[in-house]
Amino acid sequence: MNTSYTIKNFDVQGHRGCRALLPENTIPAMLKAIDLGVTTLEMDIVFTKDNVAIVSHEPFFNHEITTKPDGTFVTAEEEKNYNIYKMTFAETQRYDAGLKPHPRFATQQKIKIEKPSLSALIDSVENYTIKQKRQKIFYNIETKTLPQTDNVFHPAPATFVDMLMNIVIKKGVESRVIIQSFDLRTLQYLHKKYPLIQTALLSEAGNKSSFRKQIKDLGFLPNIYSPDQQLVNMNLINACHQKNIKIIPWTVNDKTTIASFKKMGVDGIITDYPNLLTP
């Protein structure tokens, strides 16, 4: 059963916080996104060797953003050797994720920062919204899993989801969490064991399966369908809404496209530049 998505207005999701402005998937990026008026914080989760949920887009230290403990940069050729799933959380904190100039975001402010735990991030966000007297924020958390990398770069789906949900439940944010994934397995397990948690099915531009086929393969109606912006057209928007599924495309980084999508009737956008929507 598809439970109604509870954000009534246009949902502005800060992609990895606001990675065009501050280092991605860090606490400062999330707090800045809140200041810019997002309704949802979009982020990615992987796990360490000692089962700490860490906020990171890749299950390894990406060469675009990582400085090693000795001050040198991780290279593209070696990045997958820095497997977070093979490190303890304490070991991951020796790597910087905010000082290296980003090749695609010249506007990103550089700060010395480590990848945070999900628990620390949620605590910081919850405390910040109370202190700033802001509305409570939603969390859109992506499970970074692939069948071919089970137990190599991450736990298998059931273990991954259970460990993630332990944190969500402990922090008391179940009603404000969306779990998104390209991996149908994590969403299917989540839907079966935690049926009240909202779900989002991600789709890439290169996905040759139709929207109808993807929903059939998933086996249930997600709350949200999040396609690459290149896939968005009126037929897709209408197909989603006919099934009472919200459509929230990614990653939309210019005002013209944002305005066009809003006029077409999408339910929100995921953006690296939440400041584009600031009045």
Give per-residue pLDDT as tens, 143-177. Answer: 999 999 999 999 999 999 999 999 999 999 999 99
CA–CA gap between residue 195 and residue 223 (Å, rounded): 11
pLDDT recorded at residue 2: 46
Percent of the chain with pLDDT over 90: 95
**What amino acid occupies position 146?**
L
Q: How many helices (H) and strands (E) does the chain have?
A: 8, 9
CATH numeric code, 11-166+215-249+268-277: 3.20.20.190
pLDDT in tens, 57-67: 999 999 999 99
CB-CB neighbours of 14 under 10 Å = 31
pLDDT recorded at residue 279: 62
CB 18 within 8 A of CB 7: no
Using the predicted structure, report yes or no on whether residue 112 has a pLDDT greater than 60. yes
Which of these, 114, 123, 141, lies nearest to 46 by C-alpha position?
Answer: 141
What's the whole-number mean pLDDT along residues 229-244? 98
**What amino acid occupies position 14?**
G
CA–CA gap between residue 11 and residue 23 (Å, rounded): 22
Tokens of residue 54, six digits:
């860490």
Beta bridge partners of 54: 46, 117
pLDDT recorded at residue 207: 87
What's the whole-number mean pLDDT along residues 111-124? 98
CB 56 within 8 A of CB 118: no
What's the whole-number mean pLDDT along residues 200-217? 94
3-class state of residue 60 by DSSP: strand
Using the predicted structure, report yes or no on whether residue 179 has a pLDDT greater than 70. yes
What's the whole-number mean pLDDT along residues 118-134? 97
pLDDT recorded at residue 6: 61
pLDDT recorded at residue 4: 46
pLDDT recorded at residue 43: 98
Mean pLDDT of the chain: 96
Using the predicted structure, report yes or no on whether residue 85 has a pLDDT greater than 80. yes
- The backbone region for 133, taken as left when phi is positive above 0, alpha when psi lies in -120 to 50, beta otherwise, is left
Confidence band, pLDDT 50/70/90 cuts, at residue 277: confident
CA–CA gap between residue 124 and residue 224 (Å, rounded): 26
3-class state of residue 71 by DSSP: coil
| CA atoms lying within 13 Å on the CB side of residue 110 | 12
**What amino acid occupies position 185?**
R
Angle at alpha carbon of residue 66, lines to 61 and 68, rounded to 5°: 95
pLDDT recorded at residue 3: 46
Which of these, 199, 173, 215, lies nearest to 5 by C-alpha position?
Answer: 199
Tokens of residue 47, six digits:
């796990």
User: Helix axis angle, 157-171 relative to 184-193, nearest 10°?
Assistant: 50
DSSP annotation of 202 reads: E
